[in-house]
Structure 1
Amino acid sequence: MALDIDAYLQRIGYQGEKLPTLSTLQALQHLHLQTITFENLNPLLGLPVPLDRHALMDKLVHQRRGGYCFENNLLFLEVLTMLGFQARGITGRVYWNQPDDAWPARSHMLLLVTIDGEDYLSDVGFGGMTPTAPLNLHARHPQSTPLEPFRVDAHQDHYSLWVQLGDQWRLLYRFDLMQQGAVDFEMANWYVACHPQSKFVNNLIAVRTDKNRRHTLLNDLYTVRFPDGSSEKHTLASLTELWELLEGIFAINMAGVERSSLEKALKEKSLFRQ
């Protein structure tokens, strides 16, 4: 079954040309991040996270839910391919909020897109600090986006992606260009969705990018992050407040989520301090 490209474009509000150009990629990435939220309700609730085309379209487009990197980026890859882009998935090791000398698993998926002979990184699924525009893989200077500046560094056997917050550069992830296939994404997806120690099994996470800020949720802590590195934090007081936040600010259709199951998971994992 072919992807319903028109349904996806309507979902994110894109009305521009359907041509495989850099301006099209920039617009699609920007709108996707504002519309389809990064969220992990399924792993938290012990529900499956299928990655086939039908499941991704049903959840992220028709049900108007969100997802994490494998869901968002695999759907985005399908869209780009249908529009004629030369694109493929690659994987990386996440260093955000980890020591620089750590050795995390390859738990993140991103895209390599080639346009007119130039290679770009495109990512709609990193969560808290997803770049809001494609980044030139071979540029070594800071690259501006609608929000924070980013920088791609080249190393002997890999690349690294950095974000500037205020006057600090923070390492997001390290990656290489090794070809990845469906089996690689399925393996990593199983770990992220099912492993007892996965942060997505043990925390509630949601992120949505706005025009001039990022909305992030970690369990009962709601944070608004600004491009200059500053932030505003608020601890949620009740499940009702959480539910309204997920439906409102995070634009997640919660109709298919059992409220009692979410409350049970939050209590069992001690994710709410109230």
Structure 2
Amino acid sequence: MVSQVTQEPAKGSDRPELDLDAYFRRIGYTGDRTPTLEALREIQRLHTATIPFENLNPLLGIPVLLDLGSLQQKMVQNGRGGYCFEQNQLLSHVLKALGFRVRGLAARILWNVPDGVVKAISHKLLNVQVGDAWYLADVGFGGLSPTGPIKLELNAVQKTPHEPFRLIERNEELHLQANVKDEWRSLYCFTLREHQSPDYEMFSWYLCHHPDSYFLNNLAVARSTADRRYGLRNTVFTTHHLGGESEQRELTSVAEIRAVLEEVFQITLPDHSSLDLKLQRLIDEAAAAQ
């Protein structure tokens, strides 16, 4: 069992600004508003099915704002999604409002990273207490966001509505792994050290401004439903069927990408002058690489 540090109940001056009713309407949650494992499971499942992972703001040069008002305006009122710092920051506010104890953690990405390569800390996840136990909640890891909470327990295979997950320990760090096509693959590594809002502001600013940031130069979108996961990487649209095969399709026009973003990922696209130009650039780059 992983040891855990206790925490005083969160006290945030911006808690009264949270429109919990609007958030629950957005994700379709009608369950109990109490800090139970059942509530956490259902909120996490519905959040990942409703609020897509997407990086349109960095791609278009629009600032990513992490204050509660901006998060609600973008992801609740405006029908948008966001990346990890936005997604898990909003979820943190929601869970605290329900009475959960929540600590913010930070991770280094391991997914598709070659052995021996060390990446900067660039991912936010949540540590949530339910009764006497602690869980991980993460609605912001894109195509492999856990659709259910993961108990802080080493080497135990844990079911979610989608893939099984497990936690292992290596070099004094915890690694979250997913079982993908019968292979355990690491998503990211982290410690239980708590991080604060200014830390995430710095991490997020780096991802939105560093010239080598993936999010500045590529389109990444993901959404999970009951029986599948959808993913879009630039012009490649993928459907992963739960327990089945995956399908890929190359999108070859701006109109086609727009349709997939709106209809499959259910994104209300921003009215931005450079959106079509950015999408066309991705199409041209894909064609040149063939």
* Structures share fold, TM-score greater than 0.5: yes
Normalised-by-shorter TM-score class:
over 0.9
Q: Distance in 2 between matches of 1:267 and 1:64?
A: 23
**1:251 is aligned with what amino acid?**
Q
Q: Distance in 2 between matches of 1:159 and 1:70?
A: 20
User: How far did 1:101 drift?
Assistant: 2.3
CA shift digits 1:140-174 (9 cap, x unpaired): 22111111111111234210011111221111000
Work out whether 1:262 is the aligned partner of 2:275. Answer: yes
User: How far did 1:230 drift?
Assistant: 3.3
Give 2:27's match in structure 1, choosing from 12, 17, 39.
12
User: How far did 1:267 drift?
Assistant: 4.0
Q: Distance in 2 between matches of 1:264 and 1:156?
A: 45
Question: Identity rate of aligned residues, in percent?
Answer: 44
User: How far did 1:117 drift?
Assistant: 1.3
What 5-or-longer segments of structure 2 have no aligned partner? 1-13
CA shift digits 1:175-232 (9 cap, x unpaired): 1111100110000000112211110001011100011111000010000113447310
Change (3 A) 1:206 1:246: same
Q: Distance in 2 between matches of 1:207 and 1:268?
A: 20
| Aligned match of 2:206 | 191
Q: Distance in 2 between matches of 1:68 and 1:211?
A: 21
User: How far did 1:272 drift?
Assistant: 4.4
| Aligned match of 2:103 | 88
Q: Distance in 1 between matches of 2:44 and 2:26?
A: 13
Q: Distance in 1 between matches of 2:244 and 2:172?
A: 30
Give 2:64's match in structure 1, choosing from 49, 54, 59.
49
Q: Distance in 2 between matches of 1:85 and 1:214?
A: 28
Give 1:178's match in structure 2, choosing from 181, 193, 196.
193
The Cα RMSD (Å) is 1.4
Kept after mapping to 1: 8 A contact 2:52/2:221: yes
Change (3 A) 1:268 1:244: closer
**1:58 is aligned with what amino acid?**
Q
Aligned to 1:73, what secondary structure does the other structure show?
A: helix
What TM-score does the superposition give when structure 1 sets the normalisation length? 0.95
Counting only pairs closer than 5 Å after superposition, residues 27-106 of structure 1 correspond to structure 2 as: 27-106=42-121
Q: Distance in 2 between matches of 1:230 and 1:164?
A: 15
What TM-score does the superposition give when structure 2 sets the normalisation length? 0.90
Kept after mapping to 2: 8 A contact 1:91/1:107: yes
Which deviates more from structure 2 when the two are superposed, residues 220-229 or residues 143-152? 220-229
